[in-house]
Amino acid sequence: MRSHGFPGSSTACETRPVRVLVAMSGGVDSSVAAALLVESHGADHVVGATLKLWGGDADSGCCSVADVDDARRVADQLDIVHHVFNFSADFDAHVVEPYVAGHVEGRTPNPCIECNRHLKFDRLLDRAAELGFDAVATGHHARTVRDDDGTWRLLRGADPAKDQSYVLSMLGQDQLSRTIFPVGSMTKTDVRVTAARLGLRTAAKPDSQDVCFIRSDAGRAGFLGDRVPLHPGRLVDHDSGADLGEVAAVELVTVGQRRGMGHGTDGRRRFVTAVDVPARRVTIGPPEASYASVLALHTVAWVDGAPGALSGGVLAALAQCSAHGVSVACNVRTADEGLVVTFAAPQRRVAPGQTVALYDSGRPDSVVGSGVVR
């Protein structure tokens, strides 16, 4: 096995790209990623690029004016060229519009994953190739390795608390062969120490936590309410079908939610088990009703093609159902142009539209693929 050719790799000289385009979001991770590449490749071989994705107001995430300014100033500190690419039309078409449509249809899309799928590891890679770059680098906490047979693998980041392999689980061989994750082998503490050592202005900048196109003062309700009608709905008991009251906006409710769902006569919290927007109905039940053993996936992506075990059989894997969730044992089989995942033990229901990342049961740090919950 040999690594991607990155500072600290024994094969860095053999495999390092000649020219690298670094996606700079204005955060500390991408700032340090750029700095490390300048140290290893030289400033003449590294160029920074910030993506202008959201054309509306933003006060969080990676789309605010302040973030773009931070990225530009870090590039100046590193003495590298910095570009801003306007991908806002693609962002609207592939991320924002599906996000809104999903809630109208009772789904809960993951906009960060769709941004990675369509923008950062599709549109940006294409732009980099057009401009003559050999690779794109990002500040994601993930790692790549290349096996002796030339196959690229996607691994979890070295810092378990910051691992972002889940949101990259749709990447395949073409993307991985042209992508570098310079901070993937570092802990977050190491990243900040490095940024401070280099005097980068983002060294102490907090991590972004929110969806970049939703303002913190408006929230999801304000964002969706400005774009689509929101309708009240009825709360229905999971077991008896009894009417339990009203919910203010059925489009804002997601499977697995417990906030605002109240308690049953037994005093226990109630969880959402199903959302039917056209019927204006939200089904809720006790904690045990919020678990399921099976889920179906579509929009399936594999790191290196479908594993051979799936050819008429069952693949033993580990499933992670959220960005920082715990991976759990499961069996995977093909069905209806997608996959069916059966958990070894019942798990909290996963909302339709969310992504499930699959990891190798024998190599738990290695991503196999992913799919979106039906």
CATH 3.30.360.10 fits 293-373, yes or no: no
**Where along the chain do its domains lie?**
2-197, 229-285, 293-373
- Pick the catalytic residue from 62, 63, 112, 115: 115
Burial of 145: CB neighbours in 10 Å, binned 0-12, 13-18, 19+: middle
> Which phi and psi angles does 174 have, rounded to 5°?
-65, -45
Residue 6 neighbours by CB under 8 Å, 6+ apart: 12, 16, 36, 40, 180, 181, 182, 185
Q: Across all residues in the chain, what is the average pLDDT? A: 92
3-class SS of residue 186: coil
What's the CATH number for 2-197? 3.40.50.620
What is the mean pLDDT, run by run of 10 residues, along the chain of 374 residues?
38 58 96 97 96 77 78 97 96 97 96 96 97 97 97 98 97 98 98 98 88 87 96 95 94 95 87 97 96 97 92 92 96 93 97 98 97 96
Give catalytic status of residue 112 as yes or no.
no
277-303 residues labelled b (16+ CB within 10 A) or e (exposed)? beeebbbbbbeebbeeeebebeebbbb
In angstroms, rounded to a whole number, what is the distance separating the alpha carbons of residues 52 and 221? Answer: 24
Q: Is 212 a catalytic residue?
A: yes
Write down the CATH number for the domain with range 229-285.
2.30.30.280
Amino acid at position 239, single letter: D
Given 62, 63, 212, 330, which residue is catalytic? Answer: 212
Q: For residue 291, give both structure tokens.
A: 């678990």
The pLDDT assigned to 138 comes to 98
